[in-house]
Amino acid sequence: MDLRSKRKASVGTTSLSSKRRTISAVTEQTMAHKTISFRGPTIQVTVGKGNENPAHTYTVLRELLTTDSELFRRMLQTEFKEGKEGAISLPDHHPDTFDLYLQYLYLRKLFTAERFVNHDTFDSEGLEGIELEKHINQRIYNQKAMALVDAICLADYLQSDDFHNVAIDALIESSEYYGYWLVDPADVSRVLESGVSKLIQLVRDFLVYQNSPYKLEKGDIESEMASTFYKSAVPEANKLLNGTGRPDGRPWETNRCQYHRHPVEGSGLADDVRKDFHVVMR
């Protein structure tokens, strides 16, 4: 790494460290504002199904689930089977993703942790030096980004506004940190299949504001849905480049709130349990 790269990395590390300290202090103050009882009733949540996605059963405080998730709040009403039995099944989701959700519920933090990154699967392809480092960083980013896409899908299913928002923020900050964006055809297809409108909007903005129109017009996209999505972004990207150029501030920098979920008035979720939280990137 040359001197300029070292200096850039040092500045980035210092900035990130300062950001962590600032947000952590806010989080600690917020956590002190409201506590929960660990002696309250619990719920059995079984996540996963089948050989490829083995089920795991969690025991979770009922209050944590019902104050965060509109789905849990409704399902655990006493007139429903789940409420009477104190058990819920989520067969279409993965335990790894539910682990992230529980981290958020109990710690008010979301770790885009290395446990999602299997370095043994990385094929160096004969690369060395900076090229090898770039290859590894891209693989790390891809695995983290996919874990966060799964988290956003779970948040959408659970109707958890705060979990969605912290996962969206983690995806944006991971993209900025690694310098890669969720725009490869396979990734775009997965995002489109999720049906999560805020996530789709974010990825489209990644395409328009962070990528070359030439790349968007590549003809090797297998998914017709992804191909249409790419082509729809080309005119807007060209318009920016041929006019005044792309703005210095990207949409996710100037107005991140547009990618967030917001509570529906009268949803029944208590306002005093909506806290600040922070993202921890490793």
- pLDDT tens by residue, 7-47: 444 444 444 555 444 444 444 444 444 567 788 899 999 99
Distances in Å between the alpha carbon of 267 and those of 46, 67, 208, 219? 25, 11, 35, 45
184-190 contacts, C-beta under 8 A, 24 or more apart: 184/142, 185/218, 185/220, 185/221, 185/222, 185/223, 185/226, 185/230, 187/142, 187/145, 187/146, 187/149, 188/223, 188/226, 188/229, 188/230, 189/223, 189/225, 189/226, 190/146, 190/149
The amino acid occupying position 211 is: N
pLDDT surpasses 90 at 48: yes
Domains of the chain, with CATH numbers? 11-31+39-143 (3.30.710), 181-274 (no CATH)
pLDDT for residue 240 = 82
Residue 228 — very low, low, confident or very high, per pLDDT cuts 50/70/90? confident
pLDDT surpasses 60 at 113: no
pLDDT surpasses 60 at 273: no
How high is the mean pLDDT of the chain?
A: 79
Nearest Cα to Cα of residue 279 among 50, 16, 5, 9: 16
Residue 83 — very low, low, confident or very high, per pLDDT cuts 50/70/90? very high
Nearest Cα to Cα of residue 209 among 185, 233, 188: 233
Pairwise CA distance, residues 160 & 1, whole Å: 42
Q: What element of type H or E holds 89?
A: strand 87-90
Q: What is the pTM of this model?
A: 0.77
pLDDT surpasses 50 at 272: no
pLDDT, greater one: 51 or 12: 51
The amino acid occupying position 99 is: D
| Interval 235-250 mean pLDDT | 80
pLDDT surpasses 60 at 260: yes
